[in-house]
Structure 1
């Protein structure tokens, strides 16, 4: 970050300061060197590109600065660079053309292009470059040649022919087709439209630098000095070389007030106004040579040899313009009724600022002690407290008139705080349980307190809107008084040692805030919340709380002064999340505070004067903050740019939506917020899931790292808060590409394949099972058939045997039946055909009887045959 910040007022003569800065204003010096961003401390060239980035060329590479951080471009990090060192810059609509010995780089947010010039720099090197119509370049060399570069091709400029040796030092464009060329053998005009060359000075004049504007052109010659040129190319010498022999010609510029600036080869700066040369220096420059200068509004950029880049700019925190207070360890600050400011110190007594005058009281003047603890006033008297009691000063007469000590009724001579309430009572808070007020006779009256407070230290006071008085203590919490009577006591939930109430504040909703050794404590009704480091507090210790009455509150701590807007305070009060992070702006040494360590255990530890300015005591002087500057500053737009995408060692400029290649899960996105006035005014938060309202803080970095994002479309958002108020949200679409096996198509294919595979597995399973079942059935069937065949064989054999038997039986029965049937038939015939049976010798009855016997005999044979058949079947 930024370093080496110091105040300029008091370290320069007023005569040298007046042309630079408004009267009585404070400025800081901001130094960029190889300890905080530059690769090396010798600056050869510097310029702002069209985006607003500030580029610096050094011996070890190029550096791009946004006001908050620096980015180095060298051959190691950017192999496309053909050279490490570039010497001159020329700004055009395309960007900054930076020339090395044998190459040219185009700078615009990043390195846009590298032009290899080795083909035109044999035995020479590049001295100057300019851009003409159509994006063409004219390149001048040390050998005196001019080459034109167009569409990647170099050609010699036809109209430029020189009969004698010369060196080209500079180009200066008058309009789109006419330019001046400064050489060691005179000044030339080139008319590219008419294709003409004209010498407009003596060829003996060495023109090393042409600078200014098209309306105000200046020429520098190391033999003659500085000339001003009119439209007819007539040159008027305005400064002879005898007055500026030590000038560094490469640093010559003209500002908007037509003043010429230059660095001295010996020491410091020189400014030329209407022919008058004024020299001045800054303590930070010491004996370092200034090589380059850019004057921009109230900012002065100085490129040095050995000191890097110095930026001199107005301070956001001013200091009293009094040498008597510089570097003093400041204690209590107070403004009395007559508007004069009273400032106590640790070892240098009391100082009164009344207009442009400073009056000092010390022990030599009758002050009770030089170490101050608190200040207050009443009835034309100023009360100065210390560890030895109180000194009383008659303000009008400017004299110490009395002292108040234990002998006058104080519980202790160690007075922590003095406070005047709305009833014009002056309260005196001491060690050993001492709460006092001065009665109408200016005599201390002690408040009766419970015995447990006999050893308590009382260190702060606040009168509430309802007229009650709160007294802050060390380790005993808050005491509440009604009129002059003790009412009650409340302890805060702080660890031992943290329960020190340095300051108190009642906000617009009548909620109470306590600056303690354990954070900023909020008492909202009966609920207590602690605003600590996890919520955005820079330091656990809070010395003072000051409401500016317009935009927010200011607290002092061990790291400076921290500003919280009302909206952020409200966010903290209403959030149910104890870890909610709120935005703030830190004012420290980088913005002009004499020292980032402010003073505490004094009362008051900060004041707001009648004009609204806030005075902050530090260990090295007083800082004065004007809250009104916050109200005015957010009118200008924010210069926010997405910078670079980095994947592994590969870097690419972000110019639109970005795509992360397949298989990449780790990448880095950088961005910049350009501000050279006050980078501390911004608070940044980001999120990459639009459906999630959880914004994550961006603290001290300007790059975001991502790892493990699943394939898909995202939107990276960065929310910018300015002085705690939301200003704008910047979005960057990001597409994380998927490998083929991560795509939906692949998943569908896998699903289909899985279904088909399952189908084939099931089919195979069921086929195998069916085959097995069939095989078992076939085996069983075969077995059954085999058994059936055996049985069939047995049955066939049995049938054959039975057939044989049947044949025999049939044959036997046929013979047995034949006789009785024949007889029965014969008898029946006789009975039918013969009426008389005399010849037969048998009667009819006998024949019938014999027929019946024959039929019975047949019946018996049939039954016997049937029986035998049944036995045969079984």
Structure 2
């Protein structure tokens, strides 16, 4: 074979400056694209609770809430929920208008709300009410007009209003009125207010002038700019006045000179202002200037005096959510809020800005990078083509197809580019999965494809190449899939493709390679990442290799034999860091061969598949993972910082091969949503300590009217029977869904409960004083340790108050005295043994009678309904009882009762009630509510006022699933679905049976297919545990909820077993009764049949 000759021809085609076999101009399909500014935005819209999508104003109040002014409501946002305030014509304590034009906070935490037509409203967070201020020409101290365009709080905490009807108004707190400044030159419509470092106010006017106003002396100075109406004004940290206009772009005024510079849109210059309509200006805390225009957001570079544009792309959900930017605001956590006209809210922060997110126009996954000093950045994708980024020229070229005469057409846009290497001659070598190796000359656009040919022993041994590296001699080394390590000499010297395989028996442990990594200290050493062969140290000079493998019984070996990436520390004897598939991050000591493993279970590693490892040049490592985001790892402290899509990453999922460190130290990481490019020194975790606030209170799952706003409520009074829920929020808005909480009720909880749910629920606390404490953490785990506290006082039940206990003591003393007197009179006349035998016969007889009033079977099956009952008495005679009635087809009644006390008396009350129920329901006479009243009378008659019976009665329509629950002092009923176990508690208060003032409670609801419902007496929840505490309703509910996936009978038996385990050696002190039913679930009935 004439290999050298053939390669010489290839060399000429690729590398010569002579145009030989030059392809037609349209044979290379490529597209020139503008460079899109790399920034991803988070969005808020109507689906998040925004009442209207034009947002004209923002402010953050003293507590930390964000407020949005829309054209149909004022919004308070806590990161999870939006509270909307709208006007009510019948209530003057509501906001005066839903069309909000301006917002400002005052030192006391109140919010000023400006409107275009109804003056201004002042919101008081302690009362959750508004005070309205309007204009009345007949009254002094009122507004000069009804139109408020801007509101500003100056350095002395004075409130200033810019009025569309003319003038400037200052609020006078002492008189609760306004001082008007309406004489020339302030007799014009004022559209914007800003303040300089000296405390002077700069006023923009609709006439296009700018007025400097001294609020202390009243002196004014007018500056004229050649512009249409002023829409926005800001004074930057250097003292320059930035002026936005309606049609004439952006002006910057230098006050000392009185001169100005005008920035306009230039259609031929992408670094010019994106539009001449400027409506918002913001200088952030780092001094960057942001300009909101009629066509996107602009960032001004003070050094080059150019603009970077951030535009709306309807096809990109991470772009700006609308085109017309009308408001800008930076909160205390560093979030920059962008208000759009008919676009809702977009927001970002410095971390998102610095983690520059580049998105390809095809939205393809990024699979590989290549960059040489002074050259472009080459980016390979999966099904998106080959990209050439010329960042200095602000230009991107996408290559879709390669075609030339006498060569196969290569479709790049449907292929997977797995590796790229630009050699010393400027030739770009790239690999396509399954299509071999391509050499491409970007200057003359010639190319050559190399593929496997079974008939040629020196052809490329595999058509899948995962990595390419060029050694100092110009040889290309290839990591192939199935062909081992391959050496290729593009100049045609020696064998064309030289394979180094497992079969050579020289130490290479796998023919399937992922990557090649030259040793920074030894030019002859190449580290190989293999599949199923571990880590290989290959000596290119001798052709020998040493491997490092996984050993399941030796934790000092690799965590996995699937090695995806390698990074060698540059210092002598430096460690080798290994990223594996499933084995996490490994640190290899090359001298000893010992490995230290970092996996998700023993460290902060978020995912055990590590695709890429790069150095940040500060001793820290950056790791890309499969679904765990991007990690910064400090080998000294062994601490991981995790960054996620919430922070501006292309996604949480990165990919094999998609990582690069440029010569400048910039890092590139690619994944399924594009790629991020950043300088490590610019990336900081979120240090903002989130304020914690209480946001809501529910009692029995219903919002409760409080004496004052819960934001400022110091204490709360409840009763012993209350079940309640307190909701809270962490006011860190970078990634609200990733905020975490910890709460603890002092006096009840032994430990802090950590959760991602913004609420805490408690049921039936014992009487006493408690303190609910709540802490919160931001997205990166920075906790507000101080948190917030709410004092809660729970009243004791009447029978547990001090005077009740006093009565108990007196009654007991009287009873003891009476008992002794009774004994003295009777002991002589009663034979003790005969009396005991008589009592035992009475107990046995009573128990037998009682058993006759329980259902014959515990499991009942009907069409679309199954019922499983359980009853176990504490003594031979008990007061518990349950019954099932089907008064008509498809209608079911389930009764669960509990008589106070134990022994023959309660048992006979139960028997009497049971007889009444059986007789009356057999006659078909009463309704269920009528039956309850009849049973009440029967308890009074038989019990003689000594006994009462709690009762839970359920009426269920098995045809529709509708149910009505009647309560007579009984515990709540539970319902949940077998699939997800989401348990709900149905409280139904009422008085027990046996009272002249009897009243029952009533609630209604509907079951869904597969839903379960349970009625029960208080015996199980009130089990006494080993430590003397009761099991409690909340813990009992969780145990019930956990049985959701079990069949009905298994669920009951499991619950009873758990109750016995909790009881332990303790005697069963009370009767246990429950009835569990399940409605219309096909899978359950298939199992039953």
For the superposition of Structure 1 and Structure 2, which TM-score range results when normalised by the shorter chain? 0.5 to 0.7
* Residue of structure 2 equivalent to 1:351: 388
- Could you tell me how far apart the structure 1 residues matched to 2:128 and 2:432 are? 67
SS of equivalent to 2:787: strand
- Could you tell me how far apart the structure 2 residues matched to 1:83 and 1:189 are? 19
Q: Check the 8 A contact 1:182/1:210 in 2, yes or no.
A: no
* Residue of structure 1 equivalent to 2:224: 238
* Residue of structure 2 equivalent to 1:737: 793
| 1:432 aligned onto 2:482 | yes
SS of equivalent to 1:628: helix
- Could you tell me how far apart the structure 1 residues matched to 2:353 and 2:171 are? 51
Q: Among 442, 462, 484, which residue is 1:412 paired with?
A: 462
* Residue of structure 2 equivalent to 1:85: 98
* Residue of structure 1 equivalent to 2:513: 458
Q: Check the 8 A contact 1:336/1:376 in 2, yes or no.
A: no
Structure 1, 415-424 or 337-346: larger mean CA deviation: 415-424
Q: Check the 8 A contact 1:317/1:591 in 2, yes or no.
A: no
Q: Among 644, 658, 664, which residue is 2:695 paired with?
A: 644
- Could you tell me how far apart the structure 2 residues matched to 1:296 and 1:376 are? 45
| 1:615 aligned onto 2:601 | no
Structure 1, 211-220 or 33-42: larger mean CA deviation: 211-220
Q: Check the 8 A contact 1:189/1:199 in 2, yes or no.
A: no
Q: Among 562, 573, 579, which residue is 2:630 paired with?
A: 562
Q: Check the 8 A contact 1:39/1:72 in 2, yes or no.
A: no
- Could you tell me how far apart the structure 2 residues matched to 1:538 and 1:225 are? 56
Structure 1 unmatched ranges of 5 or more: 1-8, 13-24, 118-138, 149-155, 161-165, 572-582, 778-874
- Could you tell me how far apart the structure 2 residues matched to 1:624 and 1:295 are? 24
| 1:386 aligned onto 2:437 | no
Give the Å deviation of 1:503: 3.8
- Could you tell me how far apart the structure 1 residues matched to 2:392 and 2:261 are? 36
SS of equivalent to 2:775: strand
Give the Å deviation of 1:446: 1.7
SS of equivalent to 2:629: strand
- Could you tell me how far apart the structure 1 residues matched to 2:641 and 2:153 are? 47
| 1:674 aligned onto 2:742 | no
Distance 1:733 1:235, change over 3 A: closer
State the Cα deviation string for residues 284-340 of structure 1 (Å, max 9, x = none): 379865554557899865434322234466563558899998956432124557887
* Residue of structure 2 equivalent to 1:531: 600
Distance 1:93 1:269, change over 3 A: farther
State the Cα deviation string for residues 60-91 of structure 1 (Å, max 9, x = none): 4322346x545323369999635562534344
* Residue of structure 2 equivalent to 1:786: none
Distance 1:145 1:172, change over 3 A: farther
- Could you tell me how far apart the structure 2 residues matched to 1:276 and 1:63 are? 36
SS of equivalent to 2:719: coil
Distance 1:262 1:290, change over 3 A: farther
State the Cα deviation string for residues 468-515 of structure 1 (Å, max 9, x = none): 9875555x463655653465754889xxxx996544678999797644
- Could you tell me how far apart the structure 2 residues matched to 1:753 and 1:665 are? 29
State the Cα deviation string for residues 25-58 of structure 1 (Å, max 9, x = none): 8544443321234221133543333455431122
- Could you tell me how far apart the structure 2 residues matched to 1:219 and 1:342 are? 50
| 1:771 aligned onto 2:825 | yes
State the Cα deviation string for residues 245-282 of structure 1 (Å, max 9, x = none): 6x6x5x56655554445474x9x975565263631522
- Could you tell me how far apart the structure 2 residues matched to 1:429 and 1:299 are? 44
Q: Among 770, 773, 780, which residue is 1:716 paired with?
A: 773
- Could you tell me how far apart the structure 2 residues matched to 1:586 and 1:230 are? 47
- Could you tell me how far apart the structure 2 residues matched to 1:733 and 1:255 are? 40
Task: Describe how 1:825-840 pairs up with structure 2 within 5 A.
Answer: none
- Could you tell me how far apart the structure 1 residues matched to 2:816 and 2:159 are? 87
Q: Check the 8 A contact 1:349/1:369 in 2, yes or no.
A: no
Distance 1:418 1:227, change over 3 A: closer
- Could you tell me how far apart the structure 1 residues matched to 2:547 and 2:241 are? 69
Q: Check the 8 A contact 1:584/1:683 in 2, yes or no.
A: no
SS of equivalent to 2:514: strand
SS of equivalent to 1:411: coil
Structure 1, 391-400 or 54-63: larger mean CA deviation: 391-400
- Could you tell me how far apart the structure 1 residues matched to 2:630 and 2:159 are? 54
Q: Among 19, 36, 39, which residue is 2:51 paired with?
A: 39
Give the Å deviation of 1:670: 0.9
What TM-score do you get using the length of structure 2 for normalisation?
0.50
Distance 1:505 1:762, change over 3 A: farther
Q: Check the 8 A contact 1:47/1:54 in 2, yes or no.
A: yes
Q: Check the 8 A contact 2:461/2:499 in 1, yes or no.
A: no
State the Cα deviation string for residues 603-644 of structure 1 (Å, max 9, x = none): 2x323334443211234543113332345x66x653423243
Q: Among 522, 543, 551, which residue is 2:611 paired with?
A: 543
- Could you tell me how far apart the structure 1 residues matched to 2:170 and 2:741 are? 54
* Residue of structure 1 equivalent to 2:1026: none
- Could you tell me how far apart the structure 1 residues matched to 2:153 and 2:536 are? 76
- Could you tell me how far apart the structure 1 residues matched to 2:185 and 2:397 are? 64
Distance 1:42 1:227, change over 3 A: same
State the Cα deviation string for residues 747-773 of structure 1 (Å, max 9, x = none): x975x8777777766665555444334
Q: Among 80, 85, 99, which residue is 1:74 paired with?
A: 85
Q: Check the 8 A contact 2:428/2:441 in 1, yes or no.
A: yes
* Residue of structure 2 equivalent to 1:445: 499
Q: Check the 8 A contact 2:59/2:67 in 1, yes or no.
A: yes
* Residue of structure 2 equivalent to 1:596: 651
State the Cα deviation string for residues 799-857 of structure 1 (Å, max 9, x = none): xxxxxxxxxxxxxxxxxxxxxxxxxxxxxxxxxxxxxxxxxxxxxxxxxxxxxxxxxxx
Aligned length: 679
| 1:308 aligned onto 2:359 | no
- Could you tell me how far apart the structure 2 residues matched to 1:523 and 1:739 are? 60
- Could you tell me how far apart the structure 1 residues matched to 2:662 and 2:751 are? 40
Distance 1:426 1:190, change over 3 A: closer
- Could you tell me how far apart the structure 1 residues matched to 2:123 and 2:562 are? 55
Distance 1:111 1:555, change over 3 A: farther
State the Cα deviation string for residues 677-699 of structure 1 (Å, max 9, x = none): x4489763525279999776544
- Could you tell me how far apart the structure 2 residues matched to 1:470 and 1:11 are? 36
Distance 1:103 1:431, change over 3 A: same
SS of equivalent to 1:35: helix
Q: Check the 8 A contact 2:567/2:613 in 1, yes or no.
A: yes
Q: Among 162, 170, 191, which residue is 1:209 paired with?
A: 191
- Could you tell me how far apart the structure 1 residues matched to 2:169 and 2:612 are? 66
Task: Describe how 1:63-212 pairs up with structure 2 within 5 A.
Answer: 63-65=75-77, 68-69=79-80, 71-74=82-85, 81=94, 85=98, 87=100, 88-94=102-108, 95-99=110-114, 105-107=121-123, 110=125, 112=127, 114-117=129-132, 139-141=133-135, 143-144=136-137, 148=141, 184=165, 200-201=183-184, 206-209=188-191, 211-212=193-194
Distance 1:514 1:455, change over 3 A: closer
What TM-score do you get using the length of structure 1 for normalisation?
0.60
Give the Å deviation of 1:646: 1.7
Give the Å deviation of 1:745: 6.5
Distance 1:176 1:660, change over 3 A: closer
Structure 2 unmatched ranges of 5 or more: 1-32, 254-259, 265-275, 277-292, 297-310, 313-319, 554-559, 589-593, 832-1089
Q: Check the 8 A contact 2:55/2:68 in 1, yes or no.
A: yes
